[in-house]
Structure 1
Amino acid sequence: MFGLFSSKKTEESMQLVQQALDPHVVAIVSASCCMSGVGALDEQLKSVAAQALKEAHLDWPVLFVTVTEAQGALGKLSGKLSDAAAATAAQVSELFVSSGLGAFPVLIVNQRVVSYGGVPDLALVLKNLPTAPKAVAHEDAA
């Protein structure tokens, strides 16, 4: 109907959600689709995530997914996700059920929910990133 629920859009959402739930990804699940005025918060979170990745020397993508895209895709992805990805998706769904749109934005790092409902500080994001291979080699040499 009017192309709002086209199969192409659904397929794109499914691919995006699968990517967001993969390891070695930082994902932001946003309520910008449902609430006005949250764009600045999303941008702050994206900036903190990018800075943390830079400081950790990791070349991971920062993916942005709306709660509407996630909800539309997760039902179709049932049984197609790894156990870790499915557990992360379930945790985000539980946050939505318990806190509504106030749970967003949600920050997912390496298949783990790191924060929700706001922008975490840089130290928290860094703490949840693995050590880059370069840094590990340096520590081994010491």
Structure 2
Amino acid sequence: MFGLFNKAPPEGDLALVKQALGKDVAVLVSASCCTQGTADIDARAEEAVRKALDDAGLDWPVLNLTLTQAQRALGALEGRLDPAEARLAGQVSELFMSHGLTAFPVVMVSQRLVSFGGAPDVALVRTALDTLPSHESAA
């Protein structure tokens, strides 16, 4: 009735989470769906990511996911992830299991976990970008 008990994630969420686990993308996974007052931290994290990408000369998308979107989609994507995607999903799940909602926001770039539990500074994100094998020469 009215889809209230439909736990299957929308197709758009599946595609978004699959893209978020891929390469050449920056991702902010937020607990704003579950914790009030996190918008400022999420905004600072996104600002740092965008600045670091700009400094590196990378025109990557910056995706925003909520914890709820990620959890629902990952269950549906199980068995359809390549090893690198599954490893990254496992890292985020492990953070949630060990730290709960305090692990968020989680910042990832190109299949690499960069930070969790707060807004990273630009230098931290830029260091992660500079150490990616395919982007070592980024300005």
TM-score normalized by structure 2? 0.90
Cα displacement (A) at 1:56: 0.2
Q: Which runs of 4+ in 1 moved over 2 A?
A: 1-7, 130-135
Seen in structure 2, the aligned counterparts of structure 1 residues 123 and 134 have a Cα distance that, compared at 3 Å, is closer
Q: What are the ranges of 5 or more consecutive residues in structure 2 without an aligned counterpart?
A: none
Aligned length: 134
Q: What is the distance in 2 between the residues matched to 1:3 and 1:63?
A: 26
Aligned to 1:51: 51
| Corresponding residue SS for 2:3 | coil
Letter of the aligned partner of 1:52 in structure 2? Answer: A
Q: What is the distance in 2 between the residues matched to 1:55 and 1:110?
A: 16
- 8 Å Cα contact 2:56-2:138 kept in structure 1: no
- 8 Å Cα contact 1:58-1:132 kept in structure 2: no
- 8 Å Cα contact 1:114-1:125 kept in structure 2: yes
Q: Deviations over 1:47-85 (max 9, x none)?
A: 100000000000000000001000000011011111111
Letter of the aligned partner of 2:71 in structure 1? Answer: Q
Aligned to 2:19: 19
Cα displacement (A) at 1:124: 0.8
| Greater Rg over alpha carbons, structure | 1
Q: What is the distance in 1 between the residues matched to 2:22 and 2:70?
A: 14
| Corresponding residue SS for 2:44 | helix
| Corresponding residue SS for 1:58 | coil
Q: CA RMSD in A?
A: 1.7
TM-score normalized by structure 1? 0.88
Q: Percent identity?
A: 51
